[in-house]
Amino acid sequence: MEKINNSIFENFNLETTINIGLKEGKYKIHTQFIIDTLGNVTDIKVRAPHPTLKKEVTEMLQKLPQFIPGKQRNKRVKTRYSLPIAFVVE
């Protein structure tokens, strides 16, 4: 989880939030993706307050490093992951 948060912090372009004209306040971006049996991020879904943010976050999630896939009964399985991203525009 810490590595995911660091990757998002490093790759999220905060300038995007300024240039699209969002009003001051708190915003939340809801993301969901699957880590497949090979550890790749697939099936990315994003809900954001602006289409530009949706595109930015989708590209950012595609850049996440490969993961160690989940295991169940000693077999690799797909794992669904939800990740909320909160930010404040001042």
pLDDT at 1: 73
Whole-number Å distance between alpha carbons of 48 and 44:
13
19-69 pLDDT per residue, tens: 787 888 898 999 999 999 999 999 999 999 999 999 989 988 998 888 899
For 39, phi and psi rounded to 5 degrees? Answer: 95, 10
Confidence of residue 11 (pLDDT cuts 50, 70, 90): confident
Whole-number Å distance between alpha carbons of 37 and 5:
22
Find, among 66, 69, 45, the residue nearest to 57 by Cα.
45
